[in-house]
Amino acid sequence: MGEVFRVLDLTGVLGNALLGGLIARQERLDPIGFATLAVLSGLGGGIIRDVLLQHGPPVALTDYAYLLTALLGAAVTFLLRVRGRAWDRLWPVVDAVALGCWATAGAQKTLGAGLGWLPAILLGTVTAVGGGAVRDLVLRRVPGILGGNTLYATAALVGAGALAWLSETGHPTAGSVVGLLSGAGLCLAARWRGWILPSADAWSPARVVRRHPRLRSKDGRRRRSGHPPKPAPDA
């Protein structure tokens, strides 16, 4: 399972590093900017996960393949103008597969550290979306996972949850496959169908406190209930 985890993790690193490089091109950054955003996107979520697990140094700092993979993503997007209809069709698949890989890899590593299914789902989701959130904060943006976009963190929750459930029932290998496919599949379906979570206004009542009805005082003037009428002037 160790080699399966490494393959899933590095696939997620490359996919998210490519995304970081694409955003660096949109922002017209220099090579350092490309490398920075690629590293933040590709390694940020895994580093957050490993720091929270407290099982030695983050793997991104001990296995050179992680940093080199992130820098490869930066180099590809810096040297090549990845655009066009073919790329627009390919990129959502790359992004969704990266999300599914990281959600399952993060959940798998959490279970391997001896924690239960709920921490596994949490850290699987953090692994998948943490790097992108850090990248957006560096660019002074509201992280895209906080709302207004198609399902992303929700897809990571589904993928991590599938792996945790199947691993707890004694099928960790099947959990890796089902978690990857369910997370990536939901992410792709949400993009194609435009699925987003409802905002607060879609669930909240239009008015929590109703207006007080207007009452008519003895002198014929209207007033709000709860407020005494003004005294009539002396005759």
Distance of alpha carbon 95 from alpha carbon 18, whole angstroms: 9
53 φ, ψ (degrees, to nearest 5)? -70, -25
Model pLDDT, residue 102: 87
Write the pLDDT tens digit of every residue in 32-88: 999 999 999 999 999 999 999 998 899 899 999 999 999 999 999 999 887 667 777
Mean pLDDT of the chain: 85
Percent of the chain surpassing pLDDT 70? 82
Put simply, whether the predicted model's pTM sits higher than 0.95 gets the answer no
Distance of alpha carbon 18 from alpha carbon 179, whole angstroms: 22
Structure-token match 């990845």, residue found: 82
Model pLDDT, residue 203: 67
Residue 220's pLDDT band, with cuts at 50, 70 and 90, is: low
**What is the average per-residue pLDDT within 90-117?**
89
Please indicate whether residue 194 or residue 201 has the higher confidence score (pLDDT).
194
Distance of alpha carbon 151 from alpha carbon 153, whole angstroms: 6
Please indicate whether residue 220 or residue 188 has the higher confidence score (pLDDT).
188
Longest dimension (CA), the chain: 97
**What is the average per-residue pLDDT within 178-206?**
86
Q: Assess contact for 24 and 77: CB atoms under 8 A.
A: yes
Please indicate whether residue 45 or residue 3 has the higher confidence score (pLDDT).
45
Model pLDDT, residue 2: 63
Residue 207's pLDDT band, with cuts at 50, 70 and 90, is: low
| 235 pLDDT above the threshold of 50 | no
Please indicate whether residue 91 or residue 190 has the higher confidence score (pLDDT).
190
**What is the average per-residue pLDDT within 187-205?**
83
Q: Assess contact for 183 and 100: CB atoms under 8 A.
A: yes
